[in-house]
Amino acid sequence: MFDTLSDRLSATFKSLRGKGRLSEADIDATAREIRIALLEADVALPVVRSFIKNVKERALGAEVSKALNPAQQVLKIVNDELVTILGGETRRLRFAKQPPTVIMLAGLQGAGKTTLAGKLGWWLKEQGHSPLLVAADLQRPNAVNQLSVVADRAGVAVYAPEPGNGVGDPVKVAKDSLDFAKSKVHDIVIVDTAGRLGIDQEMMQQAADIRDAVSPDE
C-alpha cells in the first residue's frame, strides 16, 4: 500500500519540477492527484478531505509563494501533513498499570495484521516481556494456523482454542484469552482479528464487540 502511494505521489511531484512559480491551478491539480492516491490507498474519506484542505491552505499561502523552489516546498508540506495524520511524533506503547496490557489489531483484509502480531510479539519478547498472541481471526481460511506458525517463529506463546475457518466465537476467544494470560503470567496480549471493510456492518460490529470485551490499551 505504501509503495503504491509513494509511486503515485512521486509521479505527481515530478510534474511540478522546473516551475519557478506555482499557480492556483497547479496546486489544485496536485491536490486532486494526491486525493486520488490517498483514496486508492484506502485512507478514510474524512481524513483525505482534512488532509487536502490543510495542504491547499498551506500551499496557497506565503510559505510557497516566497519559496525559491515551490515544488520542493509543496513536497515538504505534503510530507509534514502525512506525518501528522500518521500520528505525528513517535510515541511509546501504553502499558496497562495492571497486566496484562492488551493490544488489539484491526484493519483491512490483507493489511498484514497477523505478520505484525508476530513482529510485535518478537520485539516485545526482546524487551523482556512475555507476550501472548490470540487467534481471534476465525473467518479467513488458515488464519489460526498462520498465527500459530508466526508465533512459533517469533518464539512466543499463542492462544488458539478454536480452529477458525468459520468456526468459533472470536469475541469469546478474545475475552477468554485475558484469563488465560493471567493464569500463564503473560503480561501482554496481542489480539489478531479478522480483516474487514468499513461497508461490512457485521464485521465492523464484531470488531466493536471484541474491543468492548477486552478494553484494549492500544
Count how many domains the chain has.
2
Return d(Cα 191, Cα 106) in angstroms, integer: 9
187-204 average pLDDT score: 89
2-28 average pLDDT score: 78
Report yes or no on 90 lying in a domain: no
29-52 average pLDDT score: 88
Q: What is the pLDDT of residue 129?
A: 97
Q: What is the pLDDT of residue 65?
A: 61
Note whether 106 and 209 are same-domain residues. Answer: yes
Note whether 108 and 69 are same-domain residues. Answer: no
Q: What is the CATH number of the domain that holds 27?
A: 1.20.120.140
* Residue matched to cell numbers 510515541: 91
How high is the mean pLDDT of the chain? 89
Q: What number of H helices and E strands is found in the chain?
A: 9, 4
Note whether 112 and 201 are same-domain residues. Answer: yes
- The β-bridge partners of 103 are 190
Torsion angle (degrees, nearest 10) of CA 29, 31, 37, 39 = -120
Q: How confident is the model at residue 126 (pLDDT cuts 50, 70, 90)?
A: very high
Q: What is the pLDDT of residue 177?
A: 98
Note whether 63 and 119 are same-domain residues. Answer: no
Note whether 126 and 163 are same-domain residues. Answer: yes
CA torsion through residues 199, 205, 206, 212, sign: positive
Note whether 74 and 128 are same-domain residues. Answer: no
Note whether 57 and 160 are same-domain residues. Answer: no
Note whether 193 and 108 are same-domain residues. Answer: yes
Q: What is the CATH number of the domain that holds 110?
A: 3.40.50.300
| Domain closes at, from 51, 85, 119 | 85
Q: What is the pLDDT of residue 62?
A: 65
Note whether 120 and 183 are same-domain residues. Answer: yes
Q: Is the per-residue pLDDT at 67 higher than 60?
A: no
- Print the domain residue range for 66: 2-85
Note whether 134 and 163 are same-domain residues. Answer: yes
Note whether 44 and 113 are same-domain residues. Answer: no
Q: Is the pTM of this model over 0.85?
A: no
* Tens-digit pLDDT profile for residues 103-124: 999 988 888 899 999 999 999 9
Note whether 20 and 65 are same-domain residues. Answer: yes
Q: Which residues neighbour 17 within 8 Å (Cβ) at sequence distance 6 or greater? A: 71
* Residue matched to cell numbers 496546486: 27
Report yes or no on 94 lying in a domain: no
